Every structure is written in C-alpha cells, then in structure tokens.
Chain A
Amino acid sequence: MSNLAPLLRVKNLRVEFPTRRGTLVALDDVSFDIAPGEVLGVVGESGAGKSMTGAAIIGLLEPPGRIARGEILLDGKRIDNLRYEQMRRIRGKEIGAIFQDPLTTLNPLYTVGRQLVETMTTHLPVGPGEARRRAIEWLELVGIPAAAQRIDSYPHEFSGGMRQRVVIALALCAEPRLIVADEPTTALDVSIQAQVIALLKRLAREKGTAMMLVTHDMGVIAETADRVAVMYAGRIAEIGPVREVVKHANHPYSAGLMASIPPLDRRVERLAQIDGAMPRLSAIPKGCAYNPRCPQVFGKCRELRPDLINAGTTQAACWLYDTEATRG
C-alpha cells in the first residue's frame, strides 16, 4: 500500500489557538500519509485533536485557530497555504467532508435535491437537468427509497439515518478522491450506525475514494480502516496497519485503549481502564504527554518528547522503542 505515491501527505502539522492566557497548541508535529483508495482511521479521546486534523485538511479551521507550521500536500501540491478561493475549488471537488450530526448539517430551507444539484453544478461540467438526474442516482445509490420523489423533500422530512445518507451523497457527488469523515455515525442510533458505515465503506471501495475516518468507536475502525492512527493530546501516539494496532499495539496508550474494548470471543471479569485523564491543552506535561498515566514510564519520558519511531510492525511515539534510551 505504501509503495503508491500518497494522495494526501500531512507533514509536521502544528495548529495553534492564540488565547488571552497564551497560545494553545492543539496539534503538534502531526505527520501521516493516505494512499489513493486507502481508509485511515483516526482514534483517540475527545480533545485529542482528531477533528482538528480533519478541519485543517479541508482548510476550515475555526478562527482564531491557525496552521502555525507544517505542510499539507494533496498529490504532492501544497494546499495548506492556498487562498480561500483556490481552496474552495478543492473542497467538495477533491476532498469531500462528512460531519457528525446529520440533523444540523443540512440546510433546513432547501430541498435535498437543490443541495445536491448546487454541489454538482459548482464542481462538475454539468447543467441543472443532468445534475438533477445524477442527484436522483446518488440518492438511490445511498439507499433512499423512492429517490425520484424524495429529491424534492426538505431535510426535516427525513429521519436521522436517512439524512446522514443524504450527507454522504452530498460529500461524494462531485467525486472527490478523499473523504474526511468526522465521526459520521456518532449521532446516529446504534442500529443505524452499522448500516451507514457499511454504506460508506462500500461506496469508498466502488469509487476508489480514500478516506480519513475520525471516530472514537474502535469497532468501526477495526471493520473499516486499512491503517489506524491513535492520537493523544494533539499528537500521533501510534500509527500502523489496523490489525497490528488493534491486536499488538506498541505504544502503552494504544495498548491501554485497545484493552478497554470488550472482546467478543471470551468472557472477561473486568475491562482494563487507563487511570487519570488526558491533560488539558493548556497543561500538557513536559516530556511525553502520556507519562503521568503510563505504566511503563521511565526517566527519559519525563524529560523529552518522543517522535514517531519504528516499533516493529507500527510506528510509535514512545521511548521504549528507542534503543539508546532504554539502554541508558
């Protein structure tokens, strides 16, 4: 997979929020690639910076947040420093986005058809008639029954799950090569979640769309992602093939995270838990951000911040895998 030239490359990304009590670093030194057609899962606790990474990629960070350092490249071309109008042409066309809550993502005053049509006529060389025909096709494709009639319905006439299907159609209709899906199932009923994820996975595969799937649901990741990145306090703690990270996590944090998932194949008396809480961005400890909670902490962890290091099957930001540190 990694022998392909990456579609998206994020290099040393740092996002800052200036506040009255100094600058908060929301993302620090985040680097990863996504290959064409690949699904990268991004997991972590709330506030770890998952959604922030997605927002930075589509160029819609909430002010006063800003990219302070690093690069984002799409097809080898930088997109993090584009002007608004240039970036606008990429959004929707090259990079689609799916948001968390389908109840608030659709404009309540426009029919779903109109929203699909305007997206397509903006990015594709199609007229309104052709766009409408395709809009019906897309609604069928995402599983809206009686699409030809429902195209003129308003969002409030759909259920939550159906609305998220419409959102997926909207994100895909201009045929982008990358989708940033920010917790696409969190706001849905549990029974609907699996359907929507299956749909997303199927469509991504059929269309060859790469996806960055942000979620805190490890089940979704295990089922959908090719690789997974575990984020902690604004940094990537570990990144690697999904099977390896889930089964044999190398970073103590990802190991703890995975141990807290209930296994289906055997009974356990008690699920593991990680003591303590993720630090606030204003109070990130010196050294490794995870050191106060880490069961395997040692001297260097409290002094220096580790970068991603090869840890066998994955890459982990942990001094345990630095041969010199463990020896010394």
Chain B
Amino acid sequence: MFAFIINRILQALPVMLAVALISFAMFAYVGDPVAIMLGQDFTEAQREALVRDLGLDQPFWVQFATFVGNAAQGEFGLSYRLSRPVAELIAERAPATLELAFCAAGLALLIGVPMGVYTGLYRHSWLSRFFLTFSLIGVSLPTFLIGILLILVFAVWLGWLPSFGRGDTVQLGWWSTGFLTWSGLKALILPAITLGLFQLTLIMRLVRSEMMEVLRTDYIKFARARGLPNRAVHFGHALKNTLVPVITIVGLQLGAIIAFAIVTETVFQWPGMGLLFIQSVGAADIPVMSAYLLLIALVFVTINLIVDLLYYAVDPRLRIGRGKGGH
C-alpha cells in the first residue's frame, strides 16, 4: 500500500517537472520581463541590477532550479499587471474558486451518477430518453451560454438571485467563505449550476455507457442465471464494476471543473483564480499564467493520486500480483 503510493508519487514527479519547465520557459523567454518591470525610463545600471536580481545572468539550468525552488515555496514573483506578489493574488482568490468547484462537483456527482445508472438500466423508458436528450443539450451548450441564460431568467426576469459576485463573505483566518451568509449562498447557486451542468451530463453519459457495457458481460448474465434479485445484480455486481472506469474519468472531470471555472467566473464576475487567469492572458501577465499553470498541474496530479488510491480500494486485481492478474 505504502509502496504503491510512493510509486505513484514518483510517477507524478516527471509530469510536474515537465509542466514546471513549460512554466519556466514562459516565464523566462516569452516577452521581456525586464523591460516590462522597468517601464519607460531607466538607466543601464538599473537594468543590469534588475537582471542580476532576477538571476537572468545565470545559466539556464541554474535559473530553472531557482525557479523550481521558489515555486515549491510558493514564490512566483510579481504580477506584471498588478505589481503584487503572485502567490498573494492566488491565495486571495483560491477560496472563491475552490468553494465554487466543490459545489459544482457535488452537484454533478450526486445527480449525474444516479441518472447514468437509471438510463443504463432502463434504456428504453421514456424518462431515459428524456434524460438523454437533456444530456445531449447539456453537452452541446457552452458553459458561458448556460450562465447567460440562467442570469437572464433568474436574475434579470425573475430577480430571484444575484447575477454577479460572491455576496457577503466571512473571513476564517486567511480563508474567505461564502457558505456562512445568506447572500453568499444565494450568489453560489447560479454559478454552481452553470459550472456543474456540463460535468453532470458528461458523468451521466459515461456512467450510462459503462453500465450498458457491464450489463452485457458474462458475469452479469451468470448472476442473473443464479437467480439473484435485480437489486443485487444492478446495484451490487453491475454498479461496482462500473465504478472502476468511472472513477478515473470522473476524477479527471473534477479536475477539469477547476479549469472550466475560468469561463463561469468570467460570466458571473466571480472573484476567483479563473478570473485572475483570464485577465492575465489578456494582459500577457506571464508570472500569473505560469503560476496558475503549475497550480492546476498540481491539482491534477493530486486528483490522479486519489483516483489511483480509490482504484486500489475497489479493484482487488490491483492488490495482488499487480499488472498481471485479470484480463
């Protein structure tokens, strides 16, 4: 078990390093940070001092090592656009994004999985057809359009819910939460639906197709031939086998939620990391972009690790004689 985790962490390291290399390359070679930081008027001495301060006179690998070392300590330099430490900017905005992503993921899982199971089991019922049609529309609707439609109906026409911002937040140490105020919760509803809807339909379709795949297997046929009740066949044998592939993709999708938050945050002017990122792309604010990239990579690697552990818990074939048992 322990060896398994260590193994997975070792496998994740090259990926993180590769992403760090890309971030660093962006940081070091795209645009001219010195020119941007100095502004219009500067002397040659000032320029040289800055180059030395930034370590730009060092060889590539030394610079990269410094970059990785700094990044590991959460040190990403100053934002070109806002002239404030990138780490500070991100820490300020992370709670907003994480709370939003958490709600959206919960929504997608709690509704998407049961819908997928239902449509996989009762393929021809009219409710399944309805869910499928709904899911196809969900997949074809761009996130920003869902947000706009929800704003139009619930904020502009009905006036029930706010259309932008987080509402009132409460400060818990460095974490600012919207969960504890009425206006914060109300502000969360539309963005969470917007962000979760696409993932919900995706998870539903995935669970459905996996369920159909599993229901065709011999061991399900054999379970039926043994006269097990439908409930045991469907929710015991079939669902558990469906979980194995579903966990992987759902894990990745949850990571994707944080990335997709960019769009939702733009539509709702939600003060999170995504909004920060998109403003940085528009302004070519490289330090923020590379920090965000690294952070997202870290989130994905972490989620991957959790997915692997869940896999390990669900599938006994991984536990013994790893890699050779099974099919």
- Contact mask B207-236 → A, CB, 8 Å, 1/0? 000000000011101111111111010001
| A17 at interface by CB-CB < 8 Å | no
Which of A88, A99, A156, A167 is within 8 Å of B221, CB to CB? A99
Size range of the chain B interface in the assembly: 20 to 34
**A88-B229 in contact (CB<8A):** yes
**B222-A122 in contact (CB<8A):** no
**A99-B222 in contact (CB<8A):** yes
**A122-B241 in contact (CB<8A):** no
**A104-B326 in contact (CB<8A):** no
| B14 at interface by CB-CB < 8 Å | no
| B21 at interface by CB-CB < 8 Å | no
**B218-A92 in contact (CB<8A):** no
| B173 at interface by CB-CB < 8 Å | no
| A226 at interface by CB-CB < 8 Å | no
B232: which A residues are within 8 A, CB to CB? 118, 122
**B222-A106 in contact (CB<8A):** yes
Total count of chain A residues near the partner, CB < 8 A: 31
Q: How far is the CA of A170 from the CA of B225 in the complex (A)?
A: 10
**A104-B224 in contact (CB<8A):** no
| A273 at interface by CB-CB < 8 Å | no
With A97-B222, A99-B221 as known contacts, state yes or no: A109 contacts B228, CB within 8 Å: no
Most buried by A among B219, B221, B222, B224: B222
**A170-B316 in contact (CB<8A):** no
Q: How far is the CA of A70 from the CA of B58 in the complex (A)?
A: 88
- Write the nearest CB–CB distance from A264 to chain B, whole angstroms: 34
B219: which A residues are within 8 A, CB to CB? 104-108
Chain A's closest residue to B226 (CB) is A92
Chain B's closest residue to A173 (CB) is B226
Give residues in B with beta carbon < 8 Å to A.
Answer: 217-219, 221-230, 232, 236-237, 240-241, 244, 314-317, 320-321, 325-326
Give residues in A with beta carbon < 8 Å to B.
Answer: 58, 60, 84, 88-93, 96-97, 99, 101, 104-110, 118-119, 122-123, 154, 156-157, 167, 170-171, 174
Q: A91-B224, A119-B227 are in contact. List 13 more A-B contacts (CB 8 A).
A: A60-B225, A84-B230, A92-B225, A93-B227, A104-B218, A106-B219, A107-B241, A108-B315, A109-B314, A122-B226, A154-B320, A156-B326, A170-B222
Can you list the 6 inter-chain pairs with the closest CB atoms, starting with the nearest? A92-B227, A91-B227, A97-B225, A104-B218, A92-B226, A156-B325
